[in-house]
Chain A
Amino acid sequence: MAVGKEIRTKIASIKNTQKITRAMEMVAASKMRKTKDRMQATRPYSIKIGKIIKHLAQANPEYKHPYLIVRDVKRVGIILVSSDRGLCGGLNSNLFRKTLSQLIEWDKANVAVDVCTIGSKASGFFSNLKVNLVGQVSKLGDAPRLQDIAGVIKIMLDAYEAGSIDELYVVSNEFVNTMTQRPIIEQLLPVVACELDETLNGHWDYIYEPDAKDVLDHLLNRFIESKVYQGLVENNACEQSARMVAMKSASDNAGNLISELQLIYNKARQAAITQEISEIVAGAAAV
C-alpha cells in the first residue's frame, strides 16, 4: 500500500537517530562517573598547596615574589578551557558568552587581552574573533595529564614575568551537579591573599632549602598549574554530564516525535482504507 511511505521512512530515520543519541547518553553517563572521580582526586593537591601558600604568607619570607604583587592593569591574559567535542548542550556556548561579555568589558576599559585556549572548541571560537591568540592545546582526551597543559601555562607565566600581562584569569565550567554547570572566571595572578590560619601564630619562618626565592618560585608555579589543571578536569566532568543530559533530552524528543508521526500515519492509513471501502460499496450499489 502506497499510503504514508514518506511518514514511514521518516519514522525509521528518527528511530535510527534515537539509537545513536541513546548510545551516546549511556557512554557519557559512564564517562561522567570516571571524570567525576578524577575531579575529586585532584582536590587534595589543591587543598594542600593552598594551605602551604597560606602558611608561607604567614611566615616572614624576606623575599617578595612578583606573583604576589598587584600591578596596574594594561593587559590581561586568559586561559580558556573548553571541551574538544560538541553535542553537549549549551556548555561551550554559555562559556563563550560569558567570556565575550568580559572581553567587551575589558575592551571598554582599554585593557588588551592575550588568550590561550585549551580544547578545540575554544580555538575554533577564537579563530573567528580578532583576539591575540598566543597559545593553544587540544585533543587531551578524558584523562589529561598535567604536562599536557604545562606549555600554555608557561607562555602565560613568562608573559606575566616579562610584564607584558598584568593579570591572569582562567575561564572554565564549574561542576555544580549533574544538571547544572556554571561558567566561571577565576583570577590566578596576582595570587589573591587568603585569610590567615589562627593555629600558627607568632614569629616564625621556614628553613628554606635551597633558598626562599627558589622554593617560592617553584611552589607558586605549581599552584597556578594545579588551578588550571583542576579547571580542566572539572570542565571534563561538566562536558560529560552536559552531554548526558543533552542526549537524554534528545532521545526523549525523538520518542515524542515518533509517537506523533505514528499517530498521523495510522490516521492516514485508516482514512485510505475507509475511502477504499466506500468506493467499493458505491461501485457495488451502482451495478
Chain B
Amino acid sequence: MTMTVHVDIVSAEKEIFSGLAEMIFAPGELGELGISPRHAPLITKLNPGEVRVKVSENESYAFYISGGILEVQPHLVTILADTAIRAKDIDEALALDSKAKAEDALADKSGKIDYATAQAELAQAVMQLRTLDRLRKRGG
C-alpha cells in the first residue's frame, strides 16, 4: 500500500479536483515541484502551467491553471488556482478602466482591447495549447 495525501484543487469560480493522490506535480514559481505525502509545510506561488495529480500507478489527471497558490501540509495539499492570467499590468489596466467608468458613471463607454490584455490572452492560449499537446502525446 503506497502512501497517499489528500489534494484539493479549487478556483474562485468552482471546485476542480478533490481526492487522494500519490504525488502532485505543479509549476512553482521557483521551478517545477513534485509533492509526495508527508512533505514539509510549504507555501508557494504557482506559474501558469499544468498541474498533474498522480492518483495511482497508472492513473493521473492533468489540469491547466493560470497561476495560483500551493499550500502543503503533511497530509493535505491545497491548490488555489486562478482562472485567468493576472499580470500586474492587467490589474492596473482594469483598475484604470473602472476608475474611468466612475468618473463618467452615466455615459456608456464601449470597451477597447488594449495591448496588455491581448498579450496576456495570447500567453494563456499558448500555455493551454502546450498542455493539450502534452496530454495528446501521453494519450497517443
Contact = CB atoms under 8 A, between A and B. Distances in A.
Contacts, number: 135
B104 to A, nearest CB: 9
Contacts of B98: 116, 135-137, 151-152, 155
Interface string A128-140: 0000011111100
A248 to B, nearest CB: 30
Summarize A's interface: helix, strand, loop or mixed. Answer: helix
Contacts of A69: none
Contact of B80 (A42, A52, A208, A229): A52
Pick from B12, B42, B78, B97 the residue with the most CB of A within 10 Å. B12
B73 interface: yes
Contact of B11 (A45, A56, A135): A45
B99 A155 contact: yes
A59 to B, nearest CB: 7
Contacts of A23: none
Contacts of B71: 52, 55, 206
Interface stretch (A163-171, A175-183, A213-221): A213-221
Interface string A187-208: 0000000000000100011111
B94 A123 contact: no
B15 to A, nearest CB: 4
A6 B135 CA distance: 71
B8 interface: yes
Contact of B83 (A146, A207, A215): A146
Contacts of B105: 123, 126-127, 133, 136
B14 A42 contact: yes
B55 interface: no
Contacts of A45: 10-13, 15, 80
A55 B30 CA distance: 22
A49 B42 contact: no
Interface size class of A (residues with CB under 8 A): 35 or more
A33 interface: no
A48 B42 contact: no
B45 interface: yes
B95 A215 contact: no
Interface string B65-99: 00001010100001010111010001111111111
A210 interface: yes
B48 interface: no
Name the 4 nearest CB pairs between A and B, nearest first: A151-B94, A209-B44, A151-B98, A136-B102
Given A44-B10, A151-B93, 6 more contacts: A51-B78, A123-B102, A150-B94, A150-B95, A206-B43, A207-B41
Interface of A: 38, 41-42, 44-45, 48-49, 51-52, 55-56, 59, 116-117, 123, 126-127, 133-138, 145-147, 150-152, 154-155, 158, 200, 204-210, 214-215, 218-219, 222, 225-226, 229
17 contacts: A41-B13, A42-B12, A44-B14, A48-B10, A123-B102, A126-B105, A133-B105, A146-B82, A146-B83, A147-B90, A151-B99, A152-B95, A152-B98, A154-B91, A206-B42, A207-B43, A209-B42
